[in-house]
């Protein structure tokens, strides 16, 4: 479990829920990586539903299974399920809400491991206690890839293999919205790692020598110009992040007025360009200064509904700069179901 709570995904363009549904456990499990943005491992996944008959897919939450396989205590399971249920209620908003429960864990003798059924039952009970109707039965899956085994954890005996996600209407809608499904969360983390560690070591030494000296010169106009130039170059595909440019942008993003401009660029017509720039800066800026770009990347990702990337970016920011104010606030917000609509409202009101 990440310190901020369950990973949240709301992969819906402009903050709206995708108007599509899935049929049966095999399609439900196949939809999970599309909703999360990656194929989860050892996870409790709760997919909210809403609308007529609670058939339309909504917000999706994921949490790591507690403890080593087969070693979780009843207290750990209950705590996990209560937190996920609470987060789902906060994220889903007003109106009737249902949820489907999926436990992803490796097969044991061809079926779910001991304790999986109890975990699924505990999750269902926590959801019901929170006022969320449980849709259908609880499902175990060995993996979320096509052809993996699934089985209901109830005594009905239903079982099968995971559907091909390419055949789902949900996948088509997500592709149109620009969603990317990664092989794992680790792949998402790796996408933000530095391509050349030697560059980071050299820049870290450069920052040690020059950052404070340059910061003493409060030339806010030139820092704002550096940001605008980088956004323009990113849009044109001509951005070059050499040592001097990375240093200039690190200074710019530590300037409150410039950072506010950067935050507002995370939504609106420049959002895609801004997200591309922030991701590049996360990879190319040494710690702790990379935290500023990581926070911006989290805001941009959350603004378009990519909760998986937002969580990874926040984790990266907190690692780079423990106690970073905005990173800590975003971590709490993500745990409480903060989504695209809230991001836009916050930025419209003016970031603090």
Task: Write out pLDDT tens, residues 177-198.
Answer: 555 667 677 877 888 888 888 9
Are both 20 and 164 inside the same structural domain?
A: yes
Of 187, 219, 237, the one marking the end of a domain is 187
Task: Write out pLDDT tens, residues 61-78.
Answer: 888 888 777 777 889 999
Structural domain count, the chain: 2
Are both 132 and 196 inside the same structural domain?
A: no
Mean of the per-residue pLDDT values of the chain: 83
* Residues 6+ away with beta carbon under 8 Å from 153: 103, 112, 116, 117, 120, 121, 137, 138, 139, 140
**Which of 18-27, 183-192, 252-261 shows the lowest per-residue confidence on average (mean pLDDT)?**
18-27
Q: For residues 19 and 166, is the Cβ–Cβ distance under 8 A?
A: no
Q: For residues 137 and 117, is the Cβ–Cβ distance under 8 A?
A: no
Range of the domain at 288: 191-349
Are both 95 and 171 inside the same structural domain?
A: yes
Are both 62 and 205 inside the same structural domain?
A: no
Q: How confident is the model at residue 3 (pLDDT cuts 50, 70, 90)?
A: very low
Are both 22 and 147 inside the same structural domain?
A: yes
Are both 339 and 280 inside the same structural domain?
A: yes
**pTM score of the predicted model:** 0.65
The β-bridge partners of 59 are none
The answer to whether position 237 is within a domain reads yes
The answer to whether position 1 is within a domain reads no
Are both 25 and 168 inside the same structural domain?
A: yes
Are both 174 and 264 inside the same structural domain?
A: no
Task: Write out pLDDT tens, residues 77-117.
Answer: 999 999 888 888 877 666 668 898 999 999 988 888 888 99
Are both 174 and 85 inside the same structural domain?
A: yes
Are both 113 and 246 inside the same structural domain?
A: no
Of 150, 168, 187, the one marking the end of a domain is 187
The answer to whether position 2 is within a domain reads no
The answer to whether position 303 is within a domain reads yes
Are both 168 and 31 inside the same structural domain?
A: yes
Q: For residues 56 and 108, is the Cβ–Cβ distance under 8 A?
A: no
Are both 174 and 69 inside the same structural domain?
A: yes
Of 159, 187, 215, the one marking the end of a domain is 187
């Amino acid at each position: 479990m990440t310190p901020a709570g369950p990973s949240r995904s709301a992969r819906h363009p402009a903050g709206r829920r995708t108007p599509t549904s899935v049929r049966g456990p095999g399609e439900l499990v196949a939809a999970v990586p599309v909703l999360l943005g990656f194929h989860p491992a050892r996870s409790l996944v709760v997919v909210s539903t809403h609308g007529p008959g609670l058939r339309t897919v909504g917000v999706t939450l994921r949490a790591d299974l507690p403890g080593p396989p087969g070693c979780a205590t009843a207290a750990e399971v209950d705590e996990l399920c209560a937190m996920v249920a609470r987060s789902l209620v906060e994220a889903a908003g007003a109106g009737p809400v249902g949820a489907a429960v999926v436990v992803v864990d490796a097969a044991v003798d061809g079926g779910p491991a001991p304790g999986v059924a109890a975990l699924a039952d505990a999750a269902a009970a926590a959801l019901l206690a929170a006022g969320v109707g449980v849709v259908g039965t609880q499902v175990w899956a060995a993996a979320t890839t096509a052809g993996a085994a699934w089985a209901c954890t109830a005594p009905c005996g239903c079982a099968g293999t995971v559907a091909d996600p390419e055949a789902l209407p949900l996948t088509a809608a997500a592709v149109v919205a620009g969603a990317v499904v990664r092989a794992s969360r680790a792949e998402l983390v790796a996408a933000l790692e530095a391509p050349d560690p030697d560059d980071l070591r050299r820049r870290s030494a450069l920052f040690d020598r020059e950052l404070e000296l340059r910061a003493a010169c409060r030339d806010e106009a030139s820092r704002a110009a550096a940001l605008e130039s980088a956004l323009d170059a990113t849009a044109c595909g001509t951005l070059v992040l050499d040592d001097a440019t990375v240093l200039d942008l690190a200074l710019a993003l530590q300037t409150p007025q410039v950072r506010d401009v950067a935050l507002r660029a995370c939504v609106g017509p420049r959002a895609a360009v801004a997200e591309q720039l922030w991701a590049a800066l996360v990879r190319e800026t040494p710690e702790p200064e990379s935290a500023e770009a990581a926070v911006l990347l989290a805001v941009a990702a959350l603004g378009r509904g990519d909760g998986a990337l937002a969580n990874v970016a926040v984790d990266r920011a907190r690692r780079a700069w423990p106690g970073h104010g905005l990173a800590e606030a975003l971590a709490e917000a993500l745990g409480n179901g903060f989504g695209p609509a809230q991001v836009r409202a916050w930025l419209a009101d003016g970031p603090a």
